[in-house]
């Protein structure tokens, strides 16, 4: 890894806690619809709605809220009480304002790598909500560039590399999602450091991840990266 010059970090569940808040909200949502279906069934329905909507809404809290409302209407066969829609909107607003809790070791890693590499953030989600979290995280000063993408695929990583004027072999992406942080970067010829978070969003799950690939390292915690760099 001696040729690495640029390191990009995913944000949600790599720098700070995120999925935990979504799962709490989903549990609340399921409880709201308990008169119509079991929690498991509501979760399944929400998953279906989100899968159909991700391409239209992109990723983030607002799209998630619209998918909750759509699911609630379908599950209740349009008999949902309007106050429950208000409740879902309240849940969305509260999700948008959750405190930013950094994961262990993040600040130490950025502090140690900061002077020696060019550090960037590569994340997806609602722009306003990701900007708020970055602002509140107190980490902005470590980063040379922030890239908020609608979708994390090869095309957008290629664009980021172009913007950074960085060859793939000099680029390392650190993230908790194999599907959106690691796979596309490896495919372009870059490096990946996969740091799984204890919960994974269902849409980011991959069957049979191939963890022994060239230019891929798997870390138990983010500070382990310091052993390599
Ligand atoms: Mg993530």
Neighbour-count burial of 31, counting CB atoms closer than 10 A to its CB (0-12 exposed, 13-18 middle, 19+ buried): exposed
Distance 165 CA to ligand 1 centre (A): 24
Label residue 201 by pLDDT band (50, 70, 90).
low
| CATH H-level superfamily of 19-96 | Putative phosphatase; domain 2 (1.10.150.240)
| CATH H-level superfamily of 6-16+100-227 | HAD superfamily/HAD-like (3.40.50.1000)
Average pLDDT over residues 116-130: 94
Query: Contact at 8 Å (CB) between 206 and 39?
Result: no
φ/ψ (deg, to 5) at 143: -105, 135
Domain ranges within the chain, ordered by starting residue: 6-16+100-227, 19-96
37 beta partners: none
Distance 125 CA to ligand 1 centre (A): 10
- Which pLDDT belongs to residue 228? 96
Distance 1 CA to ligand 1 centre (A): 23
pLDDT in tens, 46-72: 999 999 999 899 889 999 999 999 999
Distance 76 CA to ligand 1 centre (A): 32
Distance, in Å, from the CA atom of 115 to the CA atom of 37, rounded to the nearest integer, reads: 54
pTM for the whole structure: 0.93
Distance, in Å, from the CA atom of 152 to the CA atom of 164, rounded to the nearest integer, reads: 16
Distance 148 CA to ligand 1 centre (A): 12
């Amino acid at each position: 890894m001696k040729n690495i010059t640029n390191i990009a970090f995913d944000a949600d569940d790599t720098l700070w806690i995120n999925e935990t808040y979504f799962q709490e909200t989903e549990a609340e949502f399921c409880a709201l619809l308990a008169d119509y279906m079991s929690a498991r069934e509501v979760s399944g329905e929400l998953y279906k709605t989100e899968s159909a909507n991700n391409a239209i809404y992109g990723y983030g809290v607002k799209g998630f809220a619209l998918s909750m409302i759509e699911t609630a209407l379908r599950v209740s066969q349009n008999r949902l009480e309007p106050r429950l829609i208000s409740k879902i909107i309240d849940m969305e607003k509260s999700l948008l304002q959750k405190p930013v809790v950094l994961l262990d070791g993040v600040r130490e890693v950025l502090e140690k790598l900061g002077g020696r590499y060019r550090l960037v953030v590569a994340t997806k989600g609602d722009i306003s909500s990701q900007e708020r979290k970055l602002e509140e995280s107190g980490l902005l000063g470590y980063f040379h560039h922030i890239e908020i993408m609608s979708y994390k695929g090869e095309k957008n990583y290629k664009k980021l590399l172009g913007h950074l004027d960085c060859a793939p072999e000099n680029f390392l992406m650190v993230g908790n999602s194999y599907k959106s942080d690691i796979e596309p970067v490896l495919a372009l010829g870059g490096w990946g450091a996969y740091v799984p978070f204890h919960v994974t969003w269902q849409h980011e799950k991959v069957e049979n991840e191939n963890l022994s690939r060239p230019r891929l390292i798997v870390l138990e915690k983010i500070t382990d990266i310091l052993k390599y760099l």
